[in-house]
Amino acid sequence: MTGAFTVAIDGPAAAGKGTIARAVAAHFGFAHLDTGLLYRAVGAKGGDPVAAARGLVPADLARDGLRTLDAGQAASRVAAIPEVRAALVAFQRDFARRPGGAVLDGRDIGTVICPEAEVKLFVTAGPEIRARRRWLEAGGEAGPESYEAVLAQVVERDARDRGRADAPLRAAADAVVLDTSGMDAETAAARAIALVAARLQR
């Protein structure tokens, strides 16, 4: 494939959008950008978040610790700052329209970053299920946080992401909603791959 083809995948924390995005990108040979990593990297840099966003370089996305619960909370806080979001828009849009196809996952890809995307998915699941996934990722019973604490963080982050004035988390009007509550990762990925394949065949 030589032309631009964008797959926009949005959804709340731990719904499975990253796993699905990686699977879609691998299946079709598309480039993949986890846009949440941009915000995690900005939050992890500390200092003035607007300056951090404007000075972000690819190496910042490879730093250790960006997948922790604390990094996720920091990302949600800096993502609520309009100047931070504005600084990262061009980076994301350029990536999305690169030749050969691209998959971007985040919270405002289909609504703000790539409203013209050829495929839009909104991946979701119940908060208790998403909290359990995050808790298990963090080590479960052996991890540093209780399930109840992780659930509280998930609910708090949902409220912040959905309630922010700039680019709130919501499904685009033309997005296909994929509820992964009762699906394993392979089933959810297969469903998404089928949706993209159908669009490519048109």
Q: Is 27's pLDDT higher than 90?
A: yes
pLDDT digits (tens, 9 = 90+) for 126-136: 999 999 998 99
Domain that holds residue 84: 6-195
pLDDT of residue 2: 59
Residue 144 is labelled as binding a ligand: no
Residue 11 is labelled as binding a ligand: yes
Structural domains of the chain, count = 1
Domain-located, residue 1: no
Domain-located, residue 202: no
Average pLDDT over residues 28-35: 94
Residue 68 is labelled as binding a ligand: no
Angle subtended by helix axes 35-45 and 82-96, to nearest 10:
140
The two three-digit tokens of residue 2, written as one number? 């030589």
Q: What is the CATH number of the domain that holds 73?
A: 3.40.50.300
CA dihedral 107, 34, 98, 20 (to 10 degrees): -90
Residue 15 is labelled as binding a ligand: yes
Domain-located, residue 178: yes
pTM of the model: 0.85
The two three-digit tokens of residue 26, written as one number? 């691998």
Residue 110 is labelled as binding a ligand: no
pLDDT digits (tens, 9 = 90+) for 65-107: 998 888 888 998 998 899 999 999 988 998 999 999 999 999 9
Domain-located, residue 141: yes
Domain-located, residue 68: yes
Domain-located, residue 70: yes
Query: How far apart, in whole angstroms, are the C-alpha atoms of residue 80 and residue 57?
Result: 21
